[in-house]
Amino acid sequence: MVITSFNPPIRTLMGPGPSDVHPRVLSALARPTIGHLDPSFGLMMDEVKTLLQYALQTDSQLTFPVSAPGSAGMETCFANLLEAGDTVIVCQNGVFGGRMKENVERCGAIAIMVEDDWGQAVSPQKVEDALKAHPEASVLAFVHAETSTGALSDAKTLCALAHQYDCLSIVDAVTSLGGSELRVDDWGIDAIYSGTQKCLSCVPGLSPVSFSERAQERIKQRTQRVQSWFLDLNLVMAYWGGDGARSYHHTAPVNSLYALHESLVMLQQEGLEQAWARHSSLHLALKAGLEAMGLGFIVPEGSRLPQLNTVTIPEGIDEAVVRKRLLHDYNLEIGAGLGSLAGKVWRIGLMGHSANASNVMFCLAALESVLSDMGANIHTGAALPAAQKITFG
pLDDT at 234: 87
- Decide if 17 is inside a domain: no
Is the domain of 225 the same as that of 159?
Answer: yes
Is the domain of 156 the same as that of 94?
Answer: yes
- Decide if 130 is inside a domain: yes
Is the domain of 297 the same as that of 196?
Answer: no
Is the domain of 293 the same as that of 252?
Answer: no
**pLDDT beyond 90 at 65:** yes
Instruction: Kindly report, residue by residue over 303-355, the tens digit of the pLDDT.
Output: 999 999 999 999 999 999 999 999 999 999 999 999 999 999 999 999 999 99
- Decide if 286 is inside a domain: yes
Among residues 218, 245, 269, which one ends one of the domains? 269
Instruction: Kindly report, residue by residue over 225-239, the tens digit of the pLDDT.
Output: 999 999 999 888 777
Read off the CATH number of the domain in which 384 is found. 3.90.1150.10
Instruction: Kindly report, residue by residue over 87-113, the tens digit of the pLDDT.
Output: 999 999 999 999 999 999 999 999 999
- Decide if 1 is inside a domain: no
pLDDT at 236: 84
pLDDT at 238: 78
Containing domain of residue 310, as a range? 272-392
- Decide if 205 is inside a domain: yes
Is the domain of 224 the same as that of 350?
Answer: no
Q: Number of folded domains in the chain?
A: 2
Q: What is the mean pLDDT of residues 120-148?
A: 98
Is the domain of 249 the same as that of 334?
Answer: no
**pLDDT beyond 80 at 245:** no
pLDDT at 229: 92
Looking at the chain, the whole-number percentage of residues with pLDDT higher than 90 is 94
Instruction: Kindly report, residue by residue over 156-176, the tens digit of the pLDDT.
Output: 999 999 999 999 999 999 999
Is the domain of 321 the same as that of 369?
Answer: yes
Is the domain of 180 the same as that of 289?
Answer: no
pLDDT at 244: 54
Is the domain of 184 the same as that of 317?
Answer: no
**pLDDT beyond 60 at 242:** no
Burial of 125 (0-12, 13-18, 19+ CB in 10 A): exposed
Is the domain of 348 the same as that of 249?
Answer: no
Give 169's strand partners: 140
Q: Tell me what the pLDDT averaged over the chain comes to.
A: 96
Instruction: Kindly report, residue by residue over 178-229, the tens digit of the pLDDT.
Output: 999 999 999 999 999 999 999 999 999 999 999 999 999 999 999 999 999 9
Q: What is the mean pLDDT of residues 287-293?
A: 98
Is the domain of 212 the same as that of 298?
Answer: no
Cβ–Cβ < 8 Å for 205, 253: yes
Among residues 224, 244, 269, which one ends one of the domains? 269
pLDDT at 2: 96
pLDDT at 392: 72
Read off the CATH number of the domain in which 219 is found. 3.40.640.10
Q: pLDDT confidence of 393, banded at 50, 70, 90?
A: low
pLDDT at 327: 98
- Decide if 185 is inside a domain: yes
Is the domain of 304 the same as that of 208?
Answer: no
Q: What is the mean pLDDT of residues 264-283?
A: 98
Among residues 269, 298, 316, which one ends one of the domains? 269
